Amino acid sequence: MTTRKDLTVGEALRTQGISRRGFLKFCAATASMMALPPSSIPAIAAALEKARRPSVIWLSFQECTGCTESLTRSHAPSIEGLIFNVISLDYHHTLQAASGDAAEEARHTAMKENDGKYIVVVDGSIPVKDGGVYSTIAGMTNLEILKETVAGAAAVIAVGSCAAFGGLPAANPNPTGAVSVSELVKDKPVVNIPGCPPIPVVISGVIAHFLTFGLPELDNLGRPKAFYGTSIHDRCYRRPFYDKGLFAETFDDEGAKKGWCLYKLGCKGPTTYNACATMKWNNGTSFPIEAGHGCIGCSEPQFWDAGGFYKALAEPTGNFTTTAGVAVAAGAALGAASGLLNRNKQKQAGAEHETVTADNLEKEQTS
């Protein structure tokens, strides 16, 4: 007898009463989710038809549950929902019914049964200071759980900026020594899906890519290029205003009401790579800049300590007034001192100056 776990994605969808047509629609949505052309739909269909439902172990460490919220708040019936029907989510602190020993048991069973094949999804950063005591589950530190679980995994997906880059727990002065997954996991492929939280379709898109074509192509920060390939600024509908030099100066001036560019109000769109401007939030309703607030750069490393959400990118982040003041005073003092020295030299040279007569010169020439 084939258990639910042995079903391919195609079979699993059919047992849920999804027609061939529905399946192809799902493939089309998957293609667009992965930013692939419609011509790739048959390939996706063939791949999904055969793909085994992977076992997924979801570990939550130092996090706020926002990433899980983002994923589960996506509207039903959605691709995200379907994706979660086609994977076998065997362990997830927040979503699983089991608790205590039974929960840990489920994790161990999934690891044993799918050794070398399961996917580990991590949200939250891992505290490593003082032996990692700042966050423990079932008596184990996050660090221990991560090491143990990742050992038999096929790949790790770091969901959210905490898992991908350390996130808010790692904000200066980082009291718990929080680090990202990729700082700890070096021997397995790690895919980063940063965002605070990430866009739900991006999470499911990456999982879909994993199912169909394996690991997606990543940028230098380990992010899938399909979703993090262009900056918010390059896809922003307010871009024409930026180029024309029309900026909102405050959040309630005429410019803000007319929807002008938010650069001067601290928008980090130019340095932020994410899919918000194209995929949008809340089931495709809008994205933060459409709501009148600049991008805070939540999918970039260290966005939490990047010099202030409301400081324009061109503005210096430091406190330069005192240093500059000291420098002016020092320059003036040293300049005056060296000026006085030069003056003395001048005077001395004047005093020592001997007039040269034509006779002297003639003498010099003959000698």
| List of residues contacting other proteins (CB under 8 A) | 221, 231, 233-234, 242-245, 247, 263-264, 270-271, 273, 300-303, 305-307, 311-320, 323-324, 326-328, 330-332, 334-336, 338-340, 342-343, 346
Element of type H or E holding 141 = strand 140-141
Give counts: helices (H), strands (E), the chain: 17, 9
CA 233 – CA 67 distance, rounded (Å) = 24
299 binds, among ligand SF4, other proteins, none (CB under 5 to 8 A by kind): ligand SF4
Give the count of alpha carbons within 13 A of 234, CB side only: 9
Q: Which is nearer to ligand SF4, 22 or 292 (CB)?
A: 292
Residue 56 φ then ψ, to 5°: -120, 130
Q: Which is nearer to ligand SF4, 70 or 149 (CB)?
A: 70
318 binds, among ligand SF4, other proteins, none (CB under 5 to 8 A by kind): other proteins
Q: Is 239 in the site for ligand SF4 (CB under 6 A)?
A: yes
CA 177 – CA 179 distance, rounded (Å) = 6
User: Using CB under 6 A, which of 141, 149, 176, 274 touches ligand SF4?
Assistant: 274
CA 136 – CA 220 distance, rounded (Å) = 31
10 Å CB burial of residue 296 (0-12, 13-18, 19+) is buried
Find, among 57, 157, 60, the residue nearest to 112 by Cα: 57
Q: Is 233 in the site for ligand SF4 (CB under 6 A)?
A: yes
CA 122 – CA 216 distance, rounded (Å) = 17
Q: Which is nearer to ligand SF4, 314 or 351 (CB)?
A: 314
Burial 332-342 (b: 16+ CB within 10 A, else e): eeeeeeeeeee
Q: Is 287 in the site for ligand SF4 (CB under 6 A)?
A: yes
- Work out how close the CB of 310 gets to ligand SF4 at its nearest, in angstroms, rounded to a whole number: 13
- Work out how close the CB of 190 gets to ligand SF4 at its nearest, in angstroms, rounded to a whole number: 20
Most distant pair of Cα atoms in the chain: their distance: 124
Q: Which is nearer to ligand SF4, 270 or 307 (CB)?
A: 270
User: Using CB under 6 A, which of 70, 74, 182, 299 touches ligand SF4?
Assistant: 299
User: Using CB under 6 A, which of 55, 294, 301, 304 touches ligand SF4?
Assistant: 294
324 binds, among other proteins, ligand SF4, none (CB under 5 to 8 A by kind): other proteins
CA 87 – CA 83 distance, rounded (Å) = 6
Total number of residues binding ligand SF4 (CB under 6 A)? 25
Q: Which is nearer to other proteins, 118 or 241 (CB)?
A: 241
Q: Which is nearer to ligand SF4, 10 or 297 (CB)?
A: 297
How many C-beta neighbours within 10 Å does residue 79 have?
19
Ramachandran area for residue 297 (φ above 0: left; ψ -120 to 50: alpha; else beta): left
Q: Which is nearer to ligand SF4, 179 or 277 (CB)?
A: 277
- Work out how close the CB of 309 gets to other proteins at its nearest, in angstroms, rounded to a whole number: 14
Q: Which residues bind ligand SF4 (CB under 6 A)?
A: 195, 232-233, 236, 238-239, 242, 261-263, 267, 269-270, 272, 274, 276, 287-289, 294-299
